[in-house]
């Protein structure tokens, strides 16, 4: 049973083919040069490098209104237009993909998601997602879950390039009860992030409204708290390690807005290291010799936002037993911290 595609049942007629998806991206003035296929894979949610390269080869990617090759290196202020062909969504099928399950019972799993893994299928990533892996792991029991949204049992989500803990329900009752805990803000969510600079003061609360940017709908923007734009977003931050030109932060979410931490750290002026969307991947000069090479190597080591969902605390949906889990920093973030520490020590002598 678990090896058969799971059909999305519907009484509606077959949908018409989807129109192509067209995007226009403006490269930041301070963007680090890189291959266009790499840039688009990171910038466009759910895009894969194969799909991007296919679009380039077929002339569906234009830079400043001209065709380019996959090895074209983007320049500051380039205007990129890309057209993706959008086939109808396929049936969601189980896939034998390794996942790091740190806890499991009859109602739920807690998974430590690796960076780069898409949580649920969407345009550009119909396979190879956490949802596909979940169906394979649960097996025949997954038939109880609703597949119509392509998010079977997934209570909340993490961005593709954010690592860390995510809760998955294994039956409809558990899904409902866990979703209610999130809605009632009963779930404690603590993240770890490496950011540029050292916030002052060393701890505080960021309170804004967050909503879609009026200039770019793919990006979230901060608006006046309790204003007419966006929804309330509250994040507590604490500097747990002062790394001189960087900081390791602990961030506690009191709300769950899209890209909340990433947008809030941009608002604070301390962007998350490696975050291309919110200004954390630009090449910067630090006040020591050969700093440009160090920063370039650091961004190559960590080609994603340095954000990790470290701790989740909630109640077991059936027994109401309090549960709490912590996942250590992933290897790329730990390696980046060690490199920063070494440079800080060398420049303190």
Q: Give catalytic residue positions.
A: 159
Say how many C-beta atoms besides its own lie within 10 A of residue 74's C-beta: 22
Burial level of 251, CB count in 10 A (0-12/13-18/19+)? buried
Q: Which of 60, 114, 52, 51 is nearest to 82 (CA)?
A: 60
Enumerate the β-bridge partners of residue 64: none
The answer to whether 124 and 172 are in contact (CB under 8 A) is no
Q: Which of 244, 196, 247, 270 is nearest to 345 (CA)?
A: 244
Strand order across the 61-63 sheet:
21-26, 79-84, 61-63, 66-67
Question: Backbone phi, then psi, for 154, in 5-degree steps?
Answer: -85, 115
Rounded distance, CA 165 to CA 191, Å?
Answer: 9
Sign of the dihedral through C-alpha 334, 340, 346, 349: negative
Rounded distance, CA 343 to CA 5, Å?
Answer: 51
Name the H helices within 90-217.
Answer: 130-138, 172-183
Say how many C-beta atoms besides its own lie within 10 A of residue 159's C-beta: 21
Helix (H) or strand (E) holding 79: strand 79-84
Alpha carbon 320 to chain centroid distance?
29
Q: What share of the chain is helix, strand, coil (3-state, %, to 5)?
A: 25, 30, 50
């Amino acid at each position: 049973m678990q090896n058969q595609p799971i059909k999305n049942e519907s009484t509606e007629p077959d949908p018409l083919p989807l129109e192509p998806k067209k995007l226009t991206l403006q490269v930041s003035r301070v963007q680090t040069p890189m291959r266009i296929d790499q840039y688009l894979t990171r910038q466009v949610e759910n895009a894969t490098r194969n799909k991007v390269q296919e679009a380039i080869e077929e002339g569906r990617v234009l830079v400043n209104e001209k065709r380019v090759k996959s090895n074209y290196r983007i320049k500051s202020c380039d205007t990129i237009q890309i057209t993706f062909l959008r086939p109808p969504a396929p049936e969601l099928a189980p896939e034998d993909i390794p996942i790091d399950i740190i806890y499991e019972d009859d109602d739920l799993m807690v998974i430590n998601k690796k960076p780069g893994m898409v949580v649920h299928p969407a345009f550009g990533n119909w396979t190879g997602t956490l949802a596909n892996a979940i169906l394979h792991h649960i097996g025949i029991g997954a038939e109880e879950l609703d597949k119509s949204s392509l998010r079977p049992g997934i209570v909340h989500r993490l961005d593709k390039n954010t690592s860390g803990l995510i809760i998955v329900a294994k039956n409809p009752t558990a899904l409902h009860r866990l979703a209610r805990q999130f809605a009632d803000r009963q779930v404690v969510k603590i993240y770890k992030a490496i950011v540029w600079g050292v916030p002052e003061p060393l701890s505080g609360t960021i309170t804004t409204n967050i909503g879609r940017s009026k200039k770019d709908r793919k990006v979230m923007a901060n608006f006046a708290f309790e204003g007419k734009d966006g929804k309330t977003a509250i994040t507590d931050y604490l500097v747990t390690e002062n790394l001189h030109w960087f900081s390791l932060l602990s961030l506690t979410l009191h709300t769950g807005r899209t890209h909340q931490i990433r947008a809030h750290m941009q608002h604070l002026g301390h962007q998350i290291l490696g975050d291309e969307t919110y200004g954390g991947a630009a090449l910067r000069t630090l006040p020591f010799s050969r700093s440009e090479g160090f920063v370039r190597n650091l961004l190559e080591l960590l080609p994603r936002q340095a954000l990790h969902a470290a701790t989740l605390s909630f109640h077991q949906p059936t027994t109401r037993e309090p549960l709490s889990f912590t996942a250590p920093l992933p290897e790329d973030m730990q390696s980046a911290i060690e490199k920063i520490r070494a440079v800080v020590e060398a420049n303190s002598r």
